[in-house]
């Protein structure tokens, strides 16, 4: 049989690799370890055996990347039934579900998480486009409209911010507690591209300002406060960047190369790249106010840095960290949920399983190669 060579996302592959590339062993392991009860993503690190809307949203995205519509439908059905009381068109999903003090499984906190809602809306819309499913696409539109209406605030005529949730993050008149890792620019750009009658472009502008202006030393904080004076350290976390902020670098690195924001954010994040070079892996904790850092991040942190390192021209370091993740990631225990979802994002991108285009659309390897 002849050996066929093809080009995908700028990387050359031979036909011998595609039988392996069309399978996704890490996703299969994640399903076996973390997805229970016909569509519930379990985080076993919490004794309440919790499920979060974040976990559901990420798993929906991975199921789409893996071209796994059966698991996608199970995840969607469980999310709608248990987190949205049966109707995602009528209410935003609760962010936390699990075992209460009486041992009953139920919603533990019905406040929503806007980043999870954004990922669900985006993934539903893209699933509808890629799988020719009008129902998913319509659900994505309706959820996106609700996010813009209920989870954003208007700062000026051309700038919005995404509140982390509808309740609890308005600190005063025009004072808000925000999270830079909640605003993947590519997802917002997709909404701005397809829902032109809505104010998504203003949310993109506000999100870009949030990301850039909250890291004066090139390190992103977990939380920040916005007021008329600009962006300042959150009093509770005092500029610390760790388990939330690691995603800010992940989303930035995965931006399309021709996205106009990418050069600016890459330049801003080079101190974090330098910290990776110095340590051989990302720091676990950073002080975004003075640029100091300490500790060594988990395998999930290393996976999160892969797109940023590649986009910054540090291919050798990226390969070293990829190999480190392969050797050290604990994927067969249900109490390493966060590391595993970060690994699915970072390794999946590094393995060329998906890309985002400049308009925010999702490109997957299976669209042309795994039919």
From the list 23, 100, 109, 115, the catalytic residue is 115
Kind of pairing, strands 159-162 and 170-172?
A: unpaired
Convert the pLDDT of each residue in 221-276 to its tens digit.
Answer: 999 999 999 999 999 999 999 999 999 999 999 999 999 999 999 999 999 999 99
Local confidence band at 21 (pLDDT 50, 70, 90 cut-offs): low
pTM of the model: 0.94
- E strands within the chain? 5-8, 11-14, 35-36, 40-41, 51-52, 96-99, 105-109, 152-156, 159-162, 170-172, 175-178, 224-227, 230-233, 240-241, 285-287, 293-294, 354-356, 362-364
Question: Positive or negative, the Cα torsion across 30, 33, 38, 44?
Answer: negative
Q: Judge contact between 185 and 255, C-beta under 8 A.
A: yes
Mean pLDDT computed over 38-61: 97
pLDDT at 314: 98
Convert the pLDDT of each residue in 190-221 to its tens digit.
Answer: 999 999 999 999 999 999 999 999 999 999 99
pLDDT at 371: 59
Which string of DSSP letters, residue by residue, matches 59-102? HHHHHHHTT-HHHHHHHHHHIIIIISTT-TTTSPPPSEEEE-TT
Percent of the chain with pLDDT over 90: 92
Rounded Cα gap, residues 369 and 308, in angstroms: 26
From the list 54, 117, 126, 339, the catalytic residue is 54
Mean pLDDT computed over 286-312: 98
Residue 370 confidence (pLDDT) above 90: no
Residue 223 Ramachandran class (φ > 0 left, ψ -120 to 50 alpha, else beta): beta
**Is 167 one of the annotated active-site residues of the chain?**
no
Rounded Cα gap, residues 111 and 177, in angstroms: 15
Mean pLDDT of the chain: 94
Cβ neighbors of 166 (< 8 A, separation 6 or more) are: 92, 111, 112, 150, 151
Which residue, chain included where needed, has tokens 């248990």? 82
**Is 134 one of the annotated active-site residues of the chain?**
no
Convert the pLDDT of each residue in 138-147 to its tens digit.
Answer: 999 999 999 9
Convert the pLDDT of each residue in 55-107 to its tens digit.
Answer: 999 999 999 999 999 999 999 999 999 999 999 999 999 999 999 999 999 99
Local confidence band at 366 (pLDDT 50, 70, 90 cut-offs): very high
3 vs 171, more confident: 171
DSSP code of 10? T
Rounded Cα gap, residues 114 and 93, in angstroms: 9
Convert the pLDDT of each residue in 105-136 to its tens digit.
Answer: 999 999 999 999 999 999 999 999 999 999 99
């Amino acid at each position: 049989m002849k050996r066929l060579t093809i080009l995908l996302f700028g990387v050359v592959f031979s036909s011998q690799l595609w039988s392996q590339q069309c399978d996704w062993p890490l996703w299969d392991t994640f399903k076996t370890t973390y997805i229970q009860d016909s569509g519930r993503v379990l985080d076993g690190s919490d004794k309440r055996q919790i499920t979060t809307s974040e976990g559901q949203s990420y798993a929906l995205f991975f199921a789409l990347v893996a071209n796994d519509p059966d698991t996608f439908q199970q995840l969607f059905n469980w999310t709608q039934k248990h987190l949205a009381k049966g109707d995602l068109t009528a209410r935003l999903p609760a962010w936390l579900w699990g075992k209460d003090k009486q041992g009953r499984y139920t919603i533990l906190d019905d406040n929503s998480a806007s980043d999870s809602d954004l990922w669900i809306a985006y993934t539903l819309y893209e699933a509808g486009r890629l799988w020719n499913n009008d129902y998913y696409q319509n659900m994505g539109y309706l959820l996106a409209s609700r996010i813009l209406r209920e989870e954003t605030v208007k700062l000026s005529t051309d700038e919005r911010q995404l509140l982390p949730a509808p309740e609890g993050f308005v600190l005063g008149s025009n004072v808000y507690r925000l999270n830079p890792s909640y605003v993947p620019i590519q997802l917002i750009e997709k909404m701005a591209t397809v829902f032109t009658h809505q104010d998504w472009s203003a949310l993109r502008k506000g999100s870009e300002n949030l990301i850039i202006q909250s890291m004066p030393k090139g390190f992103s904080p977990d939380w920040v406060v916005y007021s008329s004076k600009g962006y300042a350290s959150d009093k509770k976390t005092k500029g610390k960047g760790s388990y939330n902020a690691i995603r800010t670098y992940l989303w930035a690195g995965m931006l399309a190369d021709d996205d106009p924001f990418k050069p600016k954010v890459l330049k801003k994040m080079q101190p974090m790249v330098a910290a990776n070079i110095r340590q051989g892996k990302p720091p676990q904790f950073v002080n975004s106010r003075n640029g100091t850092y300490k500790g060594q991040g988990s395998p999930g942190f290393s996976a999160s840095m892969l797109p940023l390192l590649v986009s910054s021209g540090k291919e050798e370091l990226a390969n070293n960290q990829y190999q480190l993740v392969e050797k050290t990631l604990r994927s067969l225990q249900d109490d390493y949920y966060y590391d595993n979802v970060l690994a699915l994002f970072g390794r999946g991108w590094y393995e060329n399983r998906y890309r985002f285009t400049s308009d925010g659309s999702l490109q997957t390897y299976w669209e042309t190669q795994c039919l």
